[in-house]
Structure 1
């Protein structure tokens, strides 16, 4: 269970992301998706239960142990807006290599160049400010920053919703290319993107997972009324958009 203040947000959530797997987490605003992701970084306190990453129970970490866990970079976050992870006043390369700089590691510039090439960017981009590159390039750089520590889990929170169509496709393809290197939790409202990159989907409703299974199964044969509602409201996934009457009928079942 995760609570914010006196209000319980997540209840009895049981979810596994295996190495080399992309798991989609879907649900409307307020369902608890971002709260779950932040809990895996120790940014929200887990009151009961556990959250294990690479054998470490994040729920039990406090103080220095929690700071060391974050510094090690086993869990990394990819934000919707890459400017949340790239300092707008620093060259892109400084932001990408920050995790290595704080370790006092050698050849930070070389590691940054390798990281940028890995995500399909020219190493020369390291000298530019975030405002001097495109939105798609910024998000790729943010992913390079996340991947430079060789994380075990990548938390992708609406990573393509702020991008244009071509940049969105390129970033989704990049995440697919990275799947062999890192497990990913892909949080999104865009069921088209979720359907295109994920192996499994978990449906979060009012802080509980109400349905989980292989992507094709959950989208093609949704079992829970809430999943029906989400899929039916997405024209590219459920055929014609669900009528207002049908949406109201499914809402009544929740």
Structure 2
């Protein structure tokens, strides 16, 4: 099964990987800017998000993205990953280092990260709301937790829609569905990496971004003091400029 996706532009390939509370629509604000900068831009929905259904078996998101790249004839791509999408990008780059030219990770997750009490409390609260059937309450919890103060109300509404759809799909998941976890060796990653954190994000993701330069061969950390967990939705133009600048540095066009 191929992931639902969009593709536009010409030039070096760039794959955008969404967060676990969004779907590929989260990249709407950066979509045209990245294509106009000279890149062939692809964005996809992971299984259980957006227009990609969940199968009745276990799956691996990194393998799904690689399968999509193969189907599109992309041997090597830069990866931009937000939150969970950043975690998937790290898995791809560790397991298949020759297929990744660069990575920009926005408030990324990290395989094997031990959650702090703050993140664990969020997960417990979300689980309790969903078990009680209060899906709307769980949606609001996610909107309040993951968007920083710069997010406009229209953006908050967009996030509500994406998160509600994901919950509806995933709560109706067939028996046997789920993700396959894979152990990875971060030292295998060769691609240059920009690890971005938000000064108003949960401490877990700030810690992960700060650690990555010590775990990867070629990584640097940048903290955006104004940002929550989803800076691309909070200050879209600033993030488009940040990504374009990093990509021009690491994956030049022409």
Larger radius of gyration: 1
Taking structure 2 as the reference length, the TM-score comes to 0.26
Taking structure 1 as the reference length, the TM-score comes to 0.26
